Amino acid sequence: MKVRLCDEIFRHPTNKSDVSYLIKTIIRRRHSISIVSDVSADISWLDPSDIQVIEDSIAASLIGDMEEPDCKVINNAGNIHRDKTFSVNEAITYVATPLEIVLENGTNDSPLTLACIRSYLQSGSYAVSAYHDLRLVFATGGGCTNVRNYLEGKVAQHGERPKFLRHFVILDGDRRYEGHDISKYDSLIAYLRSINVKFHILEKRCMENYLPVDCFPDADKNREWLNAFNALTPRQRDFFNIGGGFRGDVPEGRKKEIDSSGGNIKSLLPQEQQDFYSDVTDTNFTTLSKGYDLPSFKKSFPKGFDDGKTNQTSLNALLQHQDNPDELKDLASTIQKLL
């Protein structure tokens, strides 16, 4: 995270020790400092180590470090509630706060995010170590309604000042077929924008759809299922319900209509979904009517991301046909910038 220190906190410091402590906190938390190149305040009262940090930051701006800061620090920001503008004391609290990534399930869904960081960022990147240093944490937001409730609670904790939120929200795509219009997120997206929280909606259906097939756990006992799954087109695999199969996509109100053999499942699916999978053979459709056979699926399946085969090459192979083939690389870069 890049923190802009404005000239006034050096020219007219309200508390010199607080300014010094802020600089040390920024460096300790491995953030970076941005200072306008024409800063003219006397900084001789700072510790020598702090002066060096400031001078290095000024030098960086002179050679073209024009990246926009994530937040800025001024003397008086008490009346600013939304924009990322802080007083020195407020900034000390903000920069010391871990980045919290809000997922549907913070435990089960985090392996994809961690795989992105490991695969797309350099091994020496601070993002790679952030999780172990507790500068990056995961939270369970639940469904879209619960995510809003969760964040509203966080805003309330900060006295209705959303500027203190250090959160990034990742939402499942939840699409069951290409072109599936998901409107349930509209209200949440508007809310996230209103509180200045960045977010990403997965292009594929959910986290499981990003796992390379070679990394699926217990593959031997699911060989027939995997053969049918591999026969799908890449886009069909993107939106397939791996854990529940086609049976899991039958609307709740119609599940009682499923016959004992499951042979009528296709007819119970929404017409658009039937059309999307219309070229799937009857044999493969029957096989894929059930989900992947794995006990405690939601907890066990994500462990495949920890397999050594999950890397940039294997992940890119799953993305090359997407609207954004750089989705996971962009996701990792966003997280690194926010850190």
Residue-range domain boundaries for the chain:
2-95, 99-207+319-338, 209-308
pLDDT of the residue at 132: 85
Rounded to a whole number, what is the largest CA-CA distance in the chain? Answer: 82
**Reduced to 3 states, what is the DSSP secondary structure of residue 49?**
helix
Mean pLDDT within 277-306: 95
Neighbours of 182 (CB within 10 A): 14
pLDDT of the residue at 263: 79
Confidence of residue 41 (pLDDT cuts 50, 70, 90): low
> Per CATH, which fold does 99-207+319-338 belong to?
Rossmann fold (3.40.50)
The answer to whether 71 and 1 are in contact (CB under 8 A) is: yes
Whether residue 279 has pLDDT greater than 70: yes
pLDDT of the residue at 128: 78
CA-to-CA distance for 47 and 310, rounded, in angstroms? Answer: 46
Q: Which amino acid is at 233?
A: T
CA-to-CA distance for 41 and 93, rounded, in angstroms? Answer: 24
Which of 76, 110, 99, 114 is CA-nearest to residue 30? 99
Lowest mean per-residue pLDDT among 227-231, 304-308, 314-318, 335-339: 304-308
Q: For residue 66, what are the CA distances in angstroms to 36, 38, 57? A: 10, 14, 12
Whether residue 228 has pLDDT greater than 60: yes
Mean pLDDT within 130-143: 90
pLDDT of the residue at 181: 87
Q: Between these two residues, 122 and 289, which has the higher pLDDT value? A: 289
Confidence of residue 71 (pLDDT cuts 50, 70, 90): very high
Lowest mean per-residue pLDDT among 59-63, 125-129, 212-216: 59-63
Sequence-distant (6+) residues with CB within 8 A of 152 are none
The answer to whether 91 and 4 are in contact (CB under 8 A) is: no
Q: For residue 325, what are the CA distances in angstroms to 67, 171, 270, 330, 335? A: 25, 18, 28, 9, 18
Which of 244, 298, 293 is CA-nearest to residue 111? 298
Confidence of residue 142 (pLDDT cuts 50, 70, 90): confident
pLDDT of the residue at 120: 93
pLDDT of the residue at 276: 97
**In sequence order, what are the beta bridge partners of 261?**
none
Q: What interhelical angle do 327-338 and 110-120 show, nearest 10?
A: 90
pLDDT of the residue at 68: 83
Q: Which amino acid is at 307?
A: D
Sequence-ordered strand ranges (E) for 112-208:
136-140, 167-171, 198-201
The DSSP secondary-structure symbol of 330 reads: H
Number of alpha carbons in the 13 Å side-chain half-sphere of residue 140 = 5
**In sequence order, what are the beta bridge partners of 205?**
none
Can you tell me which residue has the tokens 């510790």?
47
Whether residue 38 has pLDDT greater than 60: no
